[in-house]
């Protein structure tokens, strides 16, 4: 492969008036290798328009299917390049994300997608290591060692979703015909990765932390956890890998581990 920055687009899925959106945009503008950036939203407003104008970004409004899945599908449809990263408005990206993504994708054999390691932002502080992050890194060992092996990819996904959605870059040609499921609110990325894990090719990855996911009560992850919807979705995903009894036990254990995504803040600010 010989992809360059011209083959990559950042698509920011913006929702309402996130106080963190500008920080996300600035992190993309600070990339050592500059690729295209655009914003998509199903909640157009003056705040998003003003930030887009300030940074010279195009805004496209999703007037079709609403919800997280609808917004992500709309984002993929509006990325005009082969490589697309769906950037979450509350998150920030390290300056070498694009540079390293292109380097590793170009070296890979039949890449399906790329993802980097990630950290968290809690109470404004970057967290590079905690129990949940360590467990997810252990889960990814098979995929990192054998990126082209279907059994390795599926082994990494059997106990939960260790691949951080906002750190993923998709190949649009591989995604042709694939859509994020709109009935899921939390596990739509895990469901997509499970489907892609069956494809011939490689899950390309970097063990380096190249982005930070913000944990706050306004994020969709925290909201879903609060509604107990996550446990139902976890069980449905576990059933793709395990018999019913094992799936129920694993989904309960996984839901317990994910409770660290809950915080004490209460106002919703966007999708994360």
Count structural domains, the chain: 1
Position 65 scores a pLDDT of: 86
Position 269 scores a pLDDT of: 29
> What does the alpha-carbon distance between residue 202 and residue 231 come to, in Å, rounded to a whole number?
29
- For residue 148, being part of any structural domain is answered with yes
- For residue 77, being part of any structural domain is answered with yes
- For residue 271, being part of any structural domain is answered with no
Range of the domain at 214: 5-261
Backbone angles phi, psi at 60, to 5 degrees: -120, 130
- For residue 30, being part of any structural domain is answered with yes
Q: Please give the chain's pLDDT, 272 residues, in tens.
A: 899 999 999 999 999 999 999 999 999 999 999 999 999 999 999 999 999 999 999 999 999 888 899 999 999 999 889 999 999 999 999 999 999 999 999 999 999 999 999 999 999 999 999 999 999 999 999 999 999 999 999 999 999 999 999 999 999 999 888 899 888 888 999 999 999 999 999 999 999 999 999 987 655 554 544 556 778 889 999 999 999 999 988 888 777 766 655 543 322 223 33
- For residue 193, being part of any structural domain is answered with yes
Q: Residue 222 sits in a domain of what CATH number?
A: 3.90.550.10
Position 267 scores a pLDDT of: 28
Q: What is the pTM of this model?
A: 0.89
Position 220 scores a pLDDT of: 52
- For residue 242, being part of any structural domain is answered with yes
- For residue 188, being part of any structural domain is answered with yes
- For residue 222, being part of any structural domain is answered with yes
């Amino acid at each position: 492969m010989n992809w360059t920055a011209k083959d990559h687009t950042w698509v920011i899925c913006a929702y309402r008036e996130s106080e963190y959106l500008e920080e996300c945009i600035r992190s993309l503008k600070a990339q050592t290798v500059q690729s295209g950036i655009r914003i998509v939203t199903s909640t157009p407003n003056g705040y998003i328009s003003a930030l887009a104008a300030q940074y010279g970004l195009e805004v496209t409004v999703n007037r079709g299917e609403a919800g997280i899945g609808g917004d992500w599908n709309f984002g993929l449809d509006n990325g005009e390049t082969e490589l697309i990263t769906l950037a979450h408005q509350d998150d920030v990206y390290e300056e070498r994300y694009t540079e390293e993504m292109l380097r590793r994708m170009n070296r890979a054999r039949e890449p399906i997608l790329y993802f980097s390691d990630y950290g968290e932002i809690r109470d404004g502080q970057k967290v590079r290591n905690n129990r949940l992050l360590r467990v997810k890194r252990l889960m990814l060992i098979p995929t990192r060692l054998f990126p082209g092996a279907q059994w390795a990819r599926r082994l990494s996904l059997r106990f939960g979703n260790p691949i951080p959605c906002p750190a993923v870059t998709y190949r649009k040609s591989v995604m042709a015909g694939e859509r994020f499921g709109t009935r899921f609110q939390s596990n739509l990325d895990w469901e997509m990765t499970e489907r892609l894990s069956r494809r011939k090719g490689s899950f390309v990855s970097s063990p380096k932390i190249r982005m930070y996911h913000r944990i706050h009560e306004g994020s969709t992850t925290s909201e879903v956890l609060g509604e107990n919807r996550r446990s139902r979705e976890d069980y449905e995903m576990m059933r793709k890998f395990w018999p019913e009894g094992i799936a129920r036990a694993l989904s309960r254990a996984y839901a317990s581990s994910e409770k660290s995504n809950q915080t004490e803040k209460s106002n919703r600010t966007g999708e994360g």
